[in-house]
Structure 1
């Protein structure tokens, strides 16, 4: 078993060091390193906005940021022997976060993008395992660092199928980010013109934003391309289930991981998508909060119309009710309330059988507040 270092300078944007990673998914992107089955690697990453957001920037400065640079990923990593039909198991041995971070509401993005249309920025400082912010006095968010983006490259065939189905989705009015060569890394037109954006997850993984990808978790990726071509980025110090405003506590970080090939297991299990497990060695601290306040939502519009089995509407209502509660109880602006929900509130499906009305609950852990609630 070998141990390897995959290092980048997190203070210099990927846009200025294109040999240190990529921000699109494509099978022809050259590997940064080759590993063997069972090898471990220490992988350094940049933040999700590619070093564009830092103190003393303020909310209005966000309009200068170029979302086309998201997400800068470190990789690809070629695992020798990994082939289509296999599973690549990535054991997360540790995630070491940087000591500063940010949360943003970016116009046109996020679950409530129709209601929150102006840029908003919160800066965080990480101390003694918690994140604090001058914008949210009295709040301390326990750290549970993980990577929002972990994935493999698609095969050429899968790439073509994804692009075709997403083009049809856009034609039908769906929200989707199609290939865009502007600010793409690598910039080679043969790759950039058809490469997948990193905004959406796919069968190969990608921007899954699963907060349980903490130390102690193993993630199983179905392999679609020789070598797997693993990449990682978009580190989060903490996040609520849902990442409702479109960002978590964004930061840079280091991943310690072990790579194992499970020969033929994707084919044997007929596994097309990512799976993951944790034997209980570690878990996100707010997942098991014993003190909480929760709001609920169901399938009723603002105008009083009843929609049938509309999970998005139920989620929206639960989240809006939570924003109202946080604003009223703590005096935070609605933008700060949404940002707090994005990094700490867990959105959960409570029931999906009592038609026509499904129930979604939004759980606010009370441990994050300095003063007893």
Structure 2
């Protein structure tokens, strides 16, 4: 089996021949594989190994800020051409024994509510992760690769940078190209490369927790060889990742590629698709049967009624869940992390106007008592 292996004692900047942290079509592939061939990819965590088990939140201030997410690759897939679909099967994934979750002021879904500084260290014991910062909770393994994608074309890179720049000019949030901490550091890749924070048409940081073992991710190909890369493994995450981090960790992924020739053109595929044939037979973390749920509607705290605002409904559902967890003895910071790791947001209805409904589902199986 072909592989890309990394030195887990070294950061990407000190081992640059193993990956990259920007999307750019000119990044040279590290290995070449044929469709149907399995490849093993060792990956780093989202912060490039800077978070250690002994750290406090104050220690994070010393970390480089623009290193995320270090990706392993690219992998050149023989025969892949623009207009094809690259189907990536996640054959297996193995977590590292340590992970972390952090709440930072000014970021996350509830950034206007939480001005918190909180760091949880997670240690994997068998099939569960436990943290001394959130006692009484055990998070079942639901490992997946948070970031997986193919290289954009030059035209796509220019177009996507332009639309994100325009968004920022209107007051929106986006991380624009920045050479600081970029790998490769060579120009023009460092100054032109797309940041890996948002997912885009090429895949990327979608943080889809259902992309577990056995899942298949379909990505429209835009450059010769597709140039696939992956990283940012999560031991577990709820649908929404509301505090902006899951259980972040390094991992080893085994993937297999299949080419659907010309299918992106024939289907007019714009965004990635994915499937998991065995998903609904998966453990309770994937489709919980024993759960408690809160709901949210688009009504502001001052009583103002909004219409069809799913973001506001989701916000209210999460706040209600944080309150419920508070009733069980958890601090607001602990509850926020639990929501990010284990609570799934579901759109319950979008038609009963004005009050569309979002539900937040908490699996009872995560509690040890």
- Indicate the TM-score class for this superposition, using the shorter chain for normalisation: over 0.9
d(CA) in 2 for partners of 1:284, 1:227 = 36
Matched, 1:369 2:362: no
Q: Which residue of 2 aligns with 1:33?
A: 31
Q: Which residue of 2 aligns with 1:320?
A: 319
Q: Which residue of 2 aligns with 1:54?
A: 52
d(CA) in 2 for partners of 1:8, 1:128 = 24
Q: Which residue of 1 aligns with 2:304?
A: 305
Q: Helix, strand or coil: the match of 2:285?
A: helix
Q: 1:62, CA displacement in angstroms?
A: 2.2
Q: Which residue of 2 aligns with 1:349?
A: 347
Equivalent runs, 1:1-373 vs 2, <5 Å: 3-280=1-278, 283=282, 285-329=284-328, 331-371=329-369
Q: Is the 8 A contact 1:85 1:264 kept in 2?
A: yes
- Number of equivalent positions: 368
Q: 1:254, CA displacement in angstroms?
A: 0.5
Gaps (5+ residues) in structure 2?
none
Gaps (5+ residues) in structure 1?
none
Q: Is the 8 A contact 2:4 2:18 kept in 1?
A: no
Q: What CA deviation, in whole Å up to 9, does each residue of 1:101-158 have, x standing for no partner?
A: 1111123321111222232100001111001111111111110100000000100000
d(CA) in 1 for partners of 2:6, 2:284 = 29
Change (3 A) 1:98 1:13: same
Q: 1:328, CA displacement in angstroms?
A: 2.0
Q: Helix, strand or coil: the match of 2:13?
A: helix
Q: Helix, strand or coil: the match of 1:66?
A: coil
Q: 1:230, CA displacement in angstroms?
A: 0.4
* Farther off after superposition, 14-23 or 152-161: 14-23
d(CA) in 2 for partners of 1:369, 1:91 = 32
Q: What CA deviation, in whole Å up to 9, does each residue of 1:62-102 have, x standing for no partner?
A: 22222301101001111111011100011111010111111
Q: Helix, strand or coil: the match of 2:70?
A: coil
Q: 1:284, CA displacement in angstroms?
A: 5.6
Q: What CA deviation, in whole Å up to 9, does each residue of 1:42-78 have, x standing for no partner?
A: 1100111001101210122222222301101001111
Q: Is the 8 A contact 2:53 2:98 kept in 1?
A: no
